[in-house]
Amino acid sequence: MQTQAAVLNQANGPFEIENIDVGEPQAGEIRVAIKAVGICHTDLVIASGALGLQFPAVLGHEGAGFVDAVGPGVTSVKPGDKVLLTFNSCGQCRHCHDDHPAYCQSFMPLNMVCVRTDGSTRLHRDETPVADNFFGQSSFAGLAIANERNVLKIADDADLAALAPLGCGIQTGAGAVLRSLNGKAGESLVVLGGGAVGLSAVMGGAIAGCGPIIVIEPQEARRALALELGATHAIDPGAGDPVQAVRAIVPDGADMVVDTSGYLPIVESAVNMVGNLGRIGLIGVPGSLDAVLPVPIMQWLTIGGTVRGIVEGDSDPKVFLPELIAHHAAGRLPLEKFIKTYRLDEINQAIDDAHHGKCIKAVLLID
CATH fold, domain 2-167+334-365, is Quinone Oxidoreductase; Chain A, domain 1 (3.90.180)
- The domains of the chain are located at 2-167+334-365, 174-310
Q: In sequence order, which residues have a C-beta less than 8 Å from that of residue 260 and are 6 or more positions away?
A: 173, 191, 192, 193, 195, 197, 198, 201, 283, 284
Q: Under CATH, to which class is 174-310 assigned?
A: alpha beta
Q: In sequence order, which residues have a C-beta less than 8 Å from that of residue 206 and are 6 or more positions away?
A: 213, 229, 230, 332
> What pLDDT sits at residue 289?
80
Give mean pLDDT in consecutive 10-residue pieces for the chain, a chain of 367 residues.
96 94 97 97 86 92 98 97 98 97 97 93 94 96 97 97 97 98 98 97 98 97 98 97 98 98 95 98 89 94 97 97 98 97 98 93 96
Cβ neighbour number for residue 317 with a 10 Å cutoff: 24
CA angle (336 as vertex; 334, 342 as ends), nearest 5:
160
> What pLDDT sits at residue 162?
96
Contact 38, 25 (CB under 8 A): no
> What pLDDT sits at residue 48?
85
Contact 174, 203 (CB under 8 A): yes
> What pLDDT sits at residue 7?
97
